[in-house]
């Protein structure tokens, strides 16, 4: 059944190409027995003296050869399509009708078409015909050629080309292999008999044979020193259809002795040869890596500078000026202005303001001199930094952004750079992404950093030269800051007109004269976790970039930091400048109390209405009605003036708690947090021991401040003490005070930690447990000292004679052993008392 269906498909295609559906059953059967693989699938077309073959090209599009990449397309799909469209003009012309009309025009008798073999992948067809003895195949071929020339038959898909036909001189190989046509032919010279020698034809001889089929671009002979057999040559045709015609007409042609084929003759074997396009470019690139790789790196860098850098500068500028924010859109602002009256009325009815705003106003009134000082510095031309230093929760960010720079923020001339996400990012790619996100640097290809590193390593191993593709984190951050500086300078110069009085000044001179035109860069959380590995690189690059902004009069730079030793890092960037400094501490007790009272007095509309009596007279505010608020004078000192604690206290009081109970609960909560974070079991990331933290807690519970160097002399901090103290300061358990860059005292990290330390020491079980751990560490240290002294005494005792000069050393060692032993005994006695507490109490 399958063979029957295949015969039906092939019959349909034959009927279309020959136009003889059902004319000659024998001929049709013979034609389809040959198929795409020749007669009886032999790959050849058998002819006799009265039979010849013509090849017609341009009957079907050659450019559809990609269809034949699917193996079953040629055998199944395409014949079905031709069968459905047998009455339409699929092919350019019917070759059978052309042959009949040409013979009729030249009065050539007895021309009979025997079969038609389509060559679908080559876009043509072989037409086998017979003639009588009075007619030659050359005459038939010439008649067909003249007929096609006179009628100018052109395919509908290529109007510039014409259908042509040539007499097949050789013995074509009719194959159905997956070999697609190409404008290059490979001509192999084969002997006509086994064992005979074939002649290698010259370029002139090859030209005479193949030039009639089309324009030749080049003839490439086989190198004379080549040992490859059989000998061959390459023919490059100007057009693919010319090569198709030559291959089908000249394959198997025997070159006689008179034509230069040798005594026994030489046979042409033609095959399509895929021509490598631009192969010389590939060969040159891979053959000269030392030149190509640096040139390619320079090209990539040039594209980056000319295309991406301007785009990134625009993106940074849009990020600062909020150009693409919906809130700043003209249409949005119009709708907002239209609804302002309604919104104001709703707010007046609901009064949903933040209660913290009323309390914070007291703080801002107290800090008004600092706000005015910052605003005055921004109007000056001094090229130095403004540093606002204070503990976490002191309101540095609100002071600078919401009050000192309120007018600049409304003008969209403030860039806020938070160092915390940059420093906490893990890996170079994450750090680059975090830095780019802070300033609006886009597009950023952080993932290319890893790939380019591998490319650079591979190229260096293969060619011995660095590509320059990979860049260090320092270079990547430098690019981000440089583009940000360009965007800031553009913002500073926006609005400058040629009509200005100082229009003749250069950009630098103009910005120096007009400091009010410069944008503001606020660097928040500067020196956050500055002791971690790699932190110095990030902060040094930021400081250098900030110094360049200030010295070039591009922008004012304000640093917000909790680190009291910031001058060390900033001094490297501006060694010859004196910084403008503002230190924000905790609020005074009076301001703290007013903050809490104002926070409590802020009530909503319903509460305010309920505060009126029947006559409409307004009653006293809650802060004056509540008698328990008199306790604030006693407990506000324990809480301190840290804004975060004050706000928390005010919210608890507003909920109905008494000041004493609220402060006690906050102290107990702080003690629990300290025990969990600083005293719990040590982890690999922690750089201090529980004994070190407890010793500080116990000593600070007795005294408000400790001497820095005295703490370092204790047993707990005798090894790596400074590193542990720095880590505890970063964890906010303690605060280290410095003077002229020298640490001199240690205080609790937050004001509320002082009462929390006292609360922890009062816990007898906790104190006994931690004291016992501390005593065990001290006993171990003394025992190590005793072992060291005993080893030295043993060494001295092994000498042959005891010199008088060694007596003082021996007595000194014995005294040290006695002193350490006395300490050990005292520690063990104290440890016994601690154990009794742990055994008797819960």
Nearest to 415 by CA among 431, 435, 393: 435
The Cα-based distances of 71 to 40, 177, 781 in angstroms read 21, 10, 85
Cα torsion 104, 106, 109, 115: sign: negative
Give me the pLDDT at residue 265, please.
93
Give me the pLDDT at residue 440, please.
94
Secondary structure element (H or E) that encloses residue 130, with its range:
strand 124-130
Q: Can you tell me the mean pLDDT for 749-759?
A: 94
Nearest to 90 by CA among 148, 149, 156: 156
Under DSSP, the state recorded for 398 is I
Structure tokens at 620: 């006293």
Helix (H, G, I), strand (E, B) or coil at 292: helix
* 556-561 and 386-389 beta bridge pairing: parallel
Domains 184-275 and 658-762 share a fold: no
CATH architecture of residue range(s) 184-275: 2-Layer Sandwich (3.30)
Decide if pLDDT at 461 tops 90.
no
CA angle 601, 603, 607 (to 5 degrees): 120
Q: Can you tell me the mean pLDDT for 299-303?
A: 75
Go through 543-565 and write b for each residue having 16 or more CB atoms within 10 A of its CB, e for each that does not. Answer: bebbbbbbebbbbbbbbbbbbbb
Helix axes 589-601, 355-366, angle to 10 degrees: 150
Helix (H, G, I), strand (E, B) or coil at 389: strand
Give me the pLDDT at residue 639, please.
86
Residue 610: band (very low, low, confident or very high) from pLDDT cuts 50, 70, 90 = very low
Under DSSP, the state recorded for 495 is T
Structure tokens at 196: 């005979």
Decide if pLDDT at 34 tops 50.
no
Decide if pLDDT at 129 tops 80.
yes
Task: Say how far apart CA 25 and CA 30 lie, in whole Å.
Answer: 9
Assigned CATH topology for domain 658-762: Arc Repressor Mutant, subunit A (1.10.10)
Residue 44: band (very low, low, confident or very high) from pLDDT cuts 50, 70, 90 = confident
* 386-389 and 580-583 beta bridge pairing: parallel
Q: Indicate the range of 170-184, 658-672, 792-806 predicted with least confidence.
A: 792-806
Give me the pLDDT at residue 21, please.
37
Residue 12: band (very low, low, confident or very high) from pLDDT cuts 50, 70, 90 = very low
Q: Can you tell me the mean pLDDT for 278-296?
A: 75
Structure tokens at 457: 């390593």
For the beta carbon of residue 91, count every other beta carbon within 10 angstroms. Answer: 22
Decide if pLDDT at 735 tops 50.
yes
The answer, yes or no, to whether the previous bond of 166 is cis (omega within 30 of 0) is no
Q: Indicate the range of 5-19, 559-573, 592-606 predicted with least confidence.
A: 5-19
Residue 32: band (very low, low, confident or very high) from pLDDT cuts 50, 70, 90 = very low
Between residues 215 and 455, which one has the greater pLDDT? 215
Q: Can you tell me the mean pLDDT for 676-689?
A: 82
Decide if pLDDT at 6 tops 60.
no
Give me the pLDDT at residue 340, please.
64
Contacts of 549 (CB under 8 A, 6+ apart): 485, 488, 521, 555, 557
Decide if pLDDT at 159 tops 60.
yes
Residue 281: band (very low, low, confident or very high) from pLDDT cuts 50, 70, 90 = confident
Provide the residue ranges of all domains of the chain, joining segments of one domain with +. 2-167, 184-275, 658-762, 764-842
For 630-648, the DSSP string reads GGHHHHHHHH-S-HHHHHH
Top-ranked range on mean pLDDT: pick from 151-155, 347-351, 437-441, 625-629: 437-441
Q: Can you tell me the mean pLDDT for 668-688?
A: 86
Secondary structure element (H or E) that encloses residue 271, with its range:
strand 266-272
Cα torsion 70, 72, 74, 76: sign: negative
Give me the pLDDT at residue 87, please.
36
In DSSP terms, 234 is beta-bridged to 186, 220
Top-ranked range on mean pLDDT: pick from 65-74, 286-295, 753-762: 753-762
CA angle 741, 746, 752 (to 5 degrees): 130
Residue 343: band (very low, low, confident or very high) from pLDDT cuts 50, 70, 90 = low
Is residue 371 within 8 Å of residue 403, measured between CB atoms?
A: yes
Percent of the chain with pLDDT over 90: 48
Is residue 230 within 8 Å of residue 267, measured between CB atoms?
A: no
User: Model's pTM, two decimal places?
Assistant: 0.67
Q: Can you tell me the mean pLDDT for 429-455?
A: 81
For 538-552, the DSSP string reads HHHHHHHHHHHHHHT
Give me the pLDDT at residue 664, please.
94
């Amino acid at each position: 059944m399958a063979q029957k269906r295949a015969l039906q498909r092939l019959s349909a295609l034959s009927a279309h190409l020959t136009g003889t559906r059902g004319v000659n059953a024998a001929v049709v059967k013979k034609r389809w027995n040959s198929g795409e693989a020749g007669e009886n699938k032999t790959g050849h077309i058998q002819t006799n003296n009265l039979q010849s073959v013509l090849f017609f090209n341009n009957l079907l599009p050659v450019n559809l050869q990609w269809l034949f990449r699917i193996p079953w397309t040629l055998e199944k799909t395409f014949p079905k399509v031709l069968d459905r469209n047998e009455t339409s003009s699929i092919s350019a012309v019917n070759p059978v009708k052309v042959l009949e009309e040409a013979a009729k025009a030249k009065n050539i008798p007895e021309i009979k078409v025997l079969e038609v073999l389509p060559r679908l992948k080559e876009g043509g067809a072989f037409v086998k015909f017979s003639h009588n003895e009075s007619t030659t195949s050359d005459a038939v071929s010439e008649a067909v050629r003249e007929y096609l020339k006179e009628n100018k038959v052109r395919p509908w898909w290529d109007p510039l080309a014409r259908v042509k036909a040539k007499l097949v001189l050789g013995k074509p190989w009719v194959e159905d292999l997956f070999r697609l046509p190409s404008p290059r032919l490979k001509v192999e010279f084969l002997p006509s008999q086994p064992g005979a020698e074939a002649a290698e034809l010259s370029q002139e001889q090859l030209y005479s044979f193949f030039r009639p089929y089309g324009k030749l671009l080049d003839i490439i002979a086989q190198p004379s020193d080549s040992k490859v057999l059989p000998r061959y040559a390459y023919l490059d045709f100007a057009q693919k259809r010319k090569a198709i015609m030559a291959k089908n007409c000249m394959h198997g042609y025997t070159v006689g002795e008179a034509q230069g084929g040798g005594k026994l003759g030489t046979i042409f074997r033609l095959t399509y040869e895929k021509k490598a396009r631009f192969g010389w470019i590939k060969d040159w690139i891979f053959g000269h890596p030392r030149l190509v790789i640096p040139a390619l790196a320079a090209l990539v860098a040039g594209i980056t500078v000319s295309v991406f850098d301007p785009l990134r500068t625009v993106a940074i500028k849009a990020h600062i000026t909020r150009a693409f924010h919906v809130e700043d859109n003209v249409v949005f602002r119009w709708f907002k202005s239209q609804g302002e009256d309604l919104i104001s009325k709703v707010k007046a009815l609901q009064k949903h303001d933040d209660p913290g705003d009323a309390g914070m106003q007291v703080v801002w009134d107290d800090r008004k001199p600092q706000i005015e000082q910052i605003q005055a510095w921004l109007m000056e031309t001094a090229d130095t930094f403004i540093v606002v230093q204070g503990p976490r929760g002191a309101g540095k960010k609100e002071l600078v952004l919401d009050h000192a720079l309120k007018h600049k923020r409304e003008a969209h001339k403030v860039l806020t750079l938070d160092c915390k996400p940059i420093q906490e990012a893990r890996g170079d790619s994450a750090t680059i992404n975090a830095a780019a996100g802070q300033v609006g640097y886009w597009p950023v290809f952080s993932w290319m950093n890893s790939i380019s590193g591998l490319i650079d390593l591979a190229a260096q191993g293969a060619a011995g030269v660095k590509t320059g593709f990979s860049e260090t984190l320092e270079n990547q951050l430098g690019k981000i800051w440089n583009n940000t500086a360009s965007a800031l300078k553009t913002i500073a110069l926006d609005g400058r007109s040629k009509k200005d009085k100082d229009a003749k000044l250069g950009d630098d001179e103009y910005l120096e004269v007009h400091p009010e035109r410069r944008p503001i860069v606020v660097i928040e959380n500067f020196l956050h976790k500055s002791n971690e590995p790699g932190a110095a690189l990030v902060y040094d690059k930021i400081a250098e970039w900030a110094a360049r902004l200030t010295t070039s009069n591009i922008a004012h730079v304000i640093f917000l930091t909790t680190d009291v030793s910031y001058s060390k890092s900033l001094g490297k960037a501006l060694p010859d400048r004196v910084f403008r400094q503002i230190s924000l501490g905790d609020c005074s007790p009076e301001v703290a109390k007013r903050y809490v009272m104002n926070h409590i007095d802020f009530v909503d509309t319903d509460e305010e209405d309920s505060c009126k009596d029947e006559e409409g007279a307004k009653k006293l505010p809650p802060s004056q009605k509540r008698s328990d608020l008199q306790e604030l004078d006693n407990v506000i000192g324990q809480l301190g003036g840290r804004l975060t604690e004050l706000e928390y206290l005010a919210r608890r009081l507003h909920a109905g708690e008494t000041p004493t109970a609220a402060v006690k609960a906050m102290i107990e909560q702080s003690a629990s947090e300290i025990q969990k974070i600083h005293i719990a079991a040590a982890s690999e990331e922690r750089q201090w021991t529980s004994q070190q933290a407890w010793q500080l807690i116990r000593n600070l519970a007795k005294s408000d401040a400790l001497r820095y160097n005295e703490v370092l002399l204790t047993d707990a901090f005798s090894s790596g003490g400074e590193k542990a103290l720095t880590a505890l300061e970063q964890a906010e358990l303690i605060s280290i005070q410095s003077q002229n860059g020298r640490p001199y005292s240690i205080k609790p990290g937050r004001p509320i930690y002082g009462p929390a330390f006292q609360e922890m020491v009062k816990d007898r079980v906790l104190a006994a447990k931690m004291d016992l751990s501390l005593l065990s560490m001290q006993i171990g240290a003394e025992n190590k000292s005793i072992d060291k002294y005993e080893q030295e005494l043993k060494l001295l005792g092994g000498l042959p004679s005891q010199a008088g000069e060694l007596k003082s050393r021996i007595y000194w060692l014995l005294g040290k052993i006695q002193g350490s032993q006395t300490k050990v005994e005292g520690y063990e006695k104290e440890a016994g008392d601690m154990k009794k507490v742990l055994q008797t109490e819960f």
